[in-house]
Amino acid sequence: MREAGEAPFAFDRETYDRWIRFDRYLSLAEELEGVLAEAVPLVRPRYLIGEFPVQAAGEEEILIGGRVFTSSVLAWNLKRTDRVWAYVVTCGREIAHRLEKEADPLRNYWIDALAEMAVQSASAYLENRMKERLLTPGSEIRLTYMNPGSADREVWPLEDQRELFSLLGDTEGEIGVSLNGSCLMEPAKSLSGFYFLSPVGFVSCWVCSASPCKTRQAPYKPDFRKNPSSLFG
């Protein structure tokens, strides 16, 4: 399986207003309307996903599609499966280019929030599609994911982005996403990682010590890397 395409995006003004705390900008409402009138039509989020075999999983390294990835947590997760789906989702190059050109800090913030909504929407769209394709009603198997560079640095080093992008091929040509010299994605409003099926699930927050964190979805579990199986009895 390999698929690239555009993800649908429906701009929800109520959600956007909450996101930027619109009540702070009531006196600038007309200016904001003008920015949105120009920027919303530029939002074209995209995705690229491909299926690859897990060929070997040791304690620290995993061989996937002929590439070696280094992460003890990823290795632990993938001992329970024989395949992964590598993916990249992005806000789209059009809105990213508009964001790059905006010199005004406030207008930049407004457009940046729109781009963030776009990539989150694309991520949710792709995840839902994968759940519909791979999961059956009543199954205890879960669709789980990991992202290089997410959580504490040593969990899955960002440098493994190179191998992930190598697996997927021409990400720049197909969806407009590339890696810079620091292994950061351009456009910045992009996400990458592996989907995989798991009987136990996994949340990156378990291995992230960041505090405080507005996006935390689960408590930090500092002993996870020492004995992850203990979490599941």
Task: Say how far apart CA 3 and CA 185 lie, in whole Å.
Answer: 20
> Rg (Cα) of the chain, in Å, rounded?
19
Check pLDDT > 80 for residue 212: no
pLDDT band at residue 178 using 50, 70 and 90 as cut-offs: very high
Do 94 and 43 meet the contact criterion of CB atoms below 8 Å apart? yes
- CB-side neighbour CA atoms (13 Å) of 217: 6
For tokens 């769209």, the residue is: 125
What single letter denotes the amino acid at residue 175? Answer: I
Which residues are bridge partners to 49 per DSSP?
A: 3, 87
pLDDT digits (tens, 9 = 90+) for 21-73: 999 999 999 999 999 999 999 999 999 999 999 999 888 899 999 999 999 88
Check pLDDT > 90 for residue 139: no
Reduced DSSP (H G I as helix, E B as strand, rest coil) percent helix, strand, coil of the chain, to 5: 45, 20, 35
Domains, the chain, with CATH or none: 2-205 (3.40.109.40)
Which of 165, 194, 163, 162 shows the shortest CA–CA distance to 181?
162
In 27-176, which ranges are continuous DSSP H helix? Answer: 29-39, 72-78, 93-101, 105-134, 161-168, 171-175
Average pLDDT over residues 76-102: 95
Which of 220, 32, 189 shows the shortest CA–CA distance to 119?
189
Which stretch of DSSP H or E encloses residue 118?
Answer: helix 105-134
Q: Please report the pLDDT score of residue 214 as a whole number.
A: 65
Question: N- to C-terminal Cα distance for the chain?
Answer: 35
pTM to 2 decimal places: 0.91
